[in-house]
């Protein structure tokens, strides 16, 4: 069997193992090990296996991940998000579907501190869902906005997915962070617009809010959200100002979050214990998959599969838009069955050489991949964000009802992706203006 045939067979075996519910990191690593052994020999495969885990875990760039996870868990467990939702509720409560709109923008705000879609969904869901239920909101809309707006945690910086893409694509993490700002805000605005139009056309979805507060009360509530802007400005400003590198920014952000929680009197042993444990578990899960993905990258290099696919794309005259459409369809289909990290690391070793072969800007590619992965967080049968919301509402709302609520946001996300592809400057202009 040729190296290329072994590469294709390996991809098929990985998909089979994942379908059999073998952990994604183990699936990637096992197939990569035996694939390398089949192409070269067992000793070389053993040599690769002995080196990759240590080299990967010791990677300086990846050390940002546990620190950003700690930043998010500290923000969550110390309750820095409650004021954010309250301020959004007071400012936006009188709009059609005001609480849903407020939840949407509160998710966008918390995303800037957590870097995790799942954390954003669970955090804001605990606060917003009871409030929307109490006000008579349609639970399909309520659960749909929490599950969908939670995906903004992957796009609005700092983002763990952006760090991983930057490391694998060997492109600037800061540039990816900055490039995600406008698409993230555009997604939030598009979601909000859709909510207001739907509620305007069908008022029974969300009874008109009775939020009647003075401007002074709104300003007072806004004053309570100062920790989150401080964290975002501190992290992104620290990187851009040269105070810290993109890798060091994770520790800087975690330290800032620690100090803010301490100043607000929200830090205690229970908060610290839960935060460190959450960051530890998240780091272990991510690194296990990353090690498997790096092994897969070596296997793909030995097999020549990425180069083969890249040559087909370039020699076949497929345009950049054509490659993006093929990639989007691939991510949408695989996203129905794989978790975000599994989807990311199964595809990056194969797709990155293809993107490079047609001359696509890797910063734009990074943002588009995050959008593709976001859709995977909302689509059945996996839809991790949907199941996270389901865990919050129990038997009160069916999975089918949540997925139907999410469907409207999926349609909006597809429109946003089309805009990003048609007008790349939406993504690339801000990094260019900042000299990146």
Sketch the domain layout of the chain as residue ranges: 3-433
User: What was the pLDDT predicted at 114?
Assistant: 67
User: What was the pLDDT predicted at 426?
Assistant: 93
**Rounded Cα gap, residues 99 and 95, in angstroms:** 8
Determine contact, residues 122/392, Cβ cutoff 8 Å: yes
Determine contact, residues 401/131, Cβ cutoff 8 Å: no
Query: Where do runs of H (alpha helix) occur along 58-202?
Result: 64-77, 82-92, 98-114, 117-134, 139-149, 160-169, 173-179, 181-201
pTM (two decimals): 0.79
Determine contact, residues 313/352, Cβ cutoff 8 Å: no
Angle, helices 320-335/399-422, rounded to nearest 10 degrees? 170
User: What was the pLDDT predicted at 78?
Assistant: 73
> What does 81-92 look like in DSSP terms, one character per residue?
THHHHHHHHHHH
**Rounded Cα gap, residues 197 and 206, in angstroms:** 12
With H, G, I as helix, E, B as strand and everything else as coil, classify residue 224: coil
Query: Count of H helices and E strands in the chain?
Result: 22, 0
Determine contact, residues 307/353, Cβ cutoff 8 Å: yes
Residue 103: closest CA among 123, 117, 118: 123
Determine contact, residues 390/346, Cβ cutoff 8 Å: no
Ramachandran angles phi, psi of 181, nearest 5°: -65, -55
DSSP 207: P
Query: Where do runs of H (alpha helix) occur along 264-339?
Result: 269-303, 305-315, 320-335
Q: Is 332 exposed, middle or buried (0-12, 13-18, 19+ CB in 10 A)?
A: middle
User: What was the pLDDT predicted at 367?
Assistant: 93
**Rounded Cα gap, residues 338 and 391, in angstroms:** 19
**Rounded Cα gap, residues 249 and 167, in angstroms:** 15
Q: What is the pLDDT along the chain (436 residues), one digit of tens a residue?
A: 788 888 888 888 887 887 787 887 888 888 889 999 998 888 888 888 888 888 877 777 777 778 877 887 787 777 666 667 777 767 776 778 888 888 888 888 777 766 667 777 877 787 788 878 887 888 888 899 988 887 887 788 777 788 888 888 888 888 998 899 899 899 999 999 999 999 888 888 877 655 566 667 667 766 666 777 777 777 778 877 778 877 787 788 888 888 888 887 878 888 888 888 888 887 887 788 778 878 887 887 788 877 777 777 666 667 888 889 888 888 887 777 677 777 787 788 888 888 888 888 999 999 999 999 888 778 776 677 888 788 888 778 888 888 888 999 999 999 999 999 999 999 999 999 887 7
**Rounded Cα gap, residues 200 and 197, in angstroms:** 5
**Rounded Cα gap, residues 283 and 281, in angstroms:** 5
**Rounded Cα gap, residues 282 and 280, in angstroms:** 5
Residue that is written with structure tokens 């830090």 in the block: 267
Determine contact, residues 373/154, Cβ cutoff 8 Å: yes
Residue 266: closest CA among 114, 75, 396: 75
User: What was the pLDDT predicted at 212?
Assistant: 64
User: What was the pLDDT predicted at 278?
Assistant: 81
Q: Count how many Cα atoms sit within 13 Å of the Cα of residue 435 in the half-sphere of its side chain.
A: 2
User: What was the pLDDT predicted at 214?
Assistant: 66
């Amino acid at each position: 069997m040729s190296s290329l045939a072994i590469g294709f067979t390996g991809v098929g075996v990985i998909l089979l193992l994942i379908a059999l519910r073998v952990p994604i990191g183990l699936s990637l690593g096992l197939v990569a090990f035996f694939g390398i052994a089949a192409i070269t020999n067992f000793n070389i495969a053993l040599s690769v296996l002995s080196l990759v885990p240590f080299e990967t875990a010791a990677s300086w760039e990846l050390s940002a991940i546990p620190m950003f996870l700690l930043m998010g868990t500290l923000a969550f467990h110390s309750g820095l998000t409650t004021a954010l939702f309250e301020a959004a509720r007071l400012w936006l409560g009188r709009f059609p579907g005001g609480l849903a709109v407020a939840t949407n923008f509160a998710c966008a705000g918390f995303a800037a501190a957590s870097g995790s879609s799942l954390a954003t969904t669970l955090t804001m869901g605990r606060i917003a869902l009871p409030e929307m239920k109490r006000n008579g909101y349609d639970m399909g809309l309520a659960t749909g906005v929490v599950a969908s707006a939670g995906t903004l945690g992957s796009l609005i910086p700092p983002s763990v997915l952006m760090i991983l893409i930057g490391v694998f694509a060997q492109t600037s993490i800061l540039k990816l962070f900055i490039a995600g700002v406008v698409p993230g805000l555009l997604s939030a605005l598009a979601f909000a617009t859709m909510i207001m139009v739907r509620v305007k056309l069908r008022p029974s979805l969300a009874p008109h809010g009775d939020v009647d507060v003075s401007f002074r009360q709104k300003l007072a509530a806004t004053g309570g959200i100062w920790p989150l802007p401080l964290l975002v400005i501190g992290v992104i400003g620290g990187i851009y100002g040269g105070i810290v590198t993109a890798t060091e920014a994770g520790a800087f952000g975690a330290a800032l979050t620690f100090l803010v929680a301490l100043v607000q009197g929200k830090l205690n042993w229970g908060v610290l214990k839960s935060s460190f444990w959450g960051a530890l578990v998240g780091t272990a899960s991510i690194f296990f998959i990353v090690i498997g993905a790096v092994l897969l990258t070596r296997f793909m290099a030995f097999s020549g599969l990425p180069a083969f696919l890249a040559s087909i794309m370039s020699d076949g005259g497929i345009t950049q838009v054509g490659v993006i459409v093929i990639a989007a369809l691939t991510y949408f289909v695989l996203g129905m069955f794989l978790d975000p990290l599994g989807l990311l690391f199964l595809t990056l070793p194969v797709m990155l050489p293809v993107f490079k072969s047609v001359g696509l800007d890797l910063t734009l590619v990074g943002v588009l991949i995050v959008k593709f992965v976001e859709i995977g967080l909302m689509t059945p049968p996996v839809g991790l964000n949907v199941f996270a919301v389901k865990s919050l509402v129990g038997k009160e709302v069916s999975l089918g009802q949540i997925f139907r609520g999410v469907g409207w946001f999926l349609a909006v996300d597809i429109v946003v992706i089309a805009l990003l592809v048609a007008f790349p400057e939406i993504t690339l202009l801000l990094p260019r203006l900042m000299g990146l």
